[in-house]
Structure 1
Amino acid sequence: MKFNSKIGVYDFEKLNGNEFIINISLNIDNNNFDDHIKKALDYESVYGIIELVMNKSFNLIETAAYEISKNIYLEFDQISSCTIEIIKLKPKIKGGINNSSFLLETEREING
C-alpha cells in the first residue's frame, strides 16, 4: 500500500509529507481458521485501519507502525501476530538514500 503521509521530524515533512509503502503480514490462530467468507479476515478493514493511521501526523515511522499494530489487534480477534514494514521513499537526508524502513514484529498479548 502506498501513502503520502506527514510523518517526520522536520517542518517540511509535516507540511508536504513523504511517500511511504506499507507491507503487512497477518497471522491467524489456526484454531480460528474456517473456510467461510463471513469468518474470513476483512482486508478492506485492514486497509482502512492503515489508512486512518497514515493520515495522522507522527514524528517517527516507528510510532505509526505501533499504532497500526495496536489497532489491528483491537479490531480482529483472530490475529495472533503481525509484521508491519513502513518504508519511507527518498528520505531527504545526506547520502542519496533511496529509502529507509522500520520493521515491527508483534504478537498478541495474552492477559492471564
Structure 2
Amino acid sequence: MLKIKLNQMQFHARIGVYDEERVVGQDVSINIELIVDQVDFNKLAEDKLENTINYGPIYQTVAKIVARDDIKLIETLATLIMQAIYEQNSQQLDNVIVSVKKQNLPINGILDSAEVEVSYK
C-alpha cells in the first residue's frame, strides 16, 4: 500500500452559514490522504513522477474549490474536494480521505475548531 498525505494546507475561505462568516471569511485547514492499495514498488523505485501521484495538481484543485464563494458547509467543501480528487485520479486511487478544520467559529463559548472527515471507504 502507498499512502500520500498532504498535511495542513491553509486557506482563507468565504465559507459559513451566517452572513458575517461569509463577509469576513474563515480560516480552514485541510488534510488529504491518497491511498493506493496495489503498488508496484519496482516502478516506485525508478524515481519517476509518472509512476506515482503528482500532488501539485491536487493542491491546485483544492485551492480552486476553496476559492468558490457558493459553499456554506465544511461537509460540502470536504465532499467536493474528495470527489474532484478521486475523479481526476480514479485509475490510481483506491481511497481518498479529506478532513477540513474550521477555526474561529462564531460560537458563544470556548471551542478550538470544528472538523469533518469524508472518505470513499
Query: Normalised by the size of structure 2, how large is the TM-score?
Result: 0.81
The 3-state SS of whatever aligns with 2:120 is strand
> Judging changes above 3 Å, is the alpha-carbon distance between structure 1 residues 32 and 59 closer, same or farther for their aligned structure 2 residues?
farther
What is the aligned-residue identity percentage? 27
Runs (5+) with no aligned partner, structure 2: 1-8
Q: Does 1:70 align with 2:78?
A: no
Aligned match for 1:30, one of 38, 41, 53: 38
Structure 1 outlier segments of 4+, above 4 Å: none
Return the offset for 1:29.
Answer: 3.5
Question: Partner residue of 1:96?
Answer: 110
What CA deviation, in whole Å up to 9, does each residue of 1:14-48 have, x standing for no partner? 11110000011110141566313222211111101
> Judging changes above 3 Å, is the alpha-carbon distance between structure 1 residues 17 and 32 closer, same or farther for their aligned structure 2 residues?
farther
How many angstroms apart in 2 are the aligned matches of 1:103 and 1:63? 11
Q: Does 1:8 align with 2:22?
A: no
What CA deviation, in whole Å up to 9, does each residue of 1:31-82 have, x standing for no partner? 5663132222111111011101111121100001110011011111211101
Q: Does 1:50 align with 2:44?
A: no
How many angstroms apart in 2 are the aligned matches of 1:38 and 1:54? 27
Question: Partner residue of 2:5?
Answer: none
Q: Does 1:86 align with 2:88?
A: no
How many angstroms apart in 2 are the aligned matches of 1:6 and 1:96? 22
Runs (5+) with no aligned partner, structure 1: 108-112
TM-align CA RMSD? 1.4
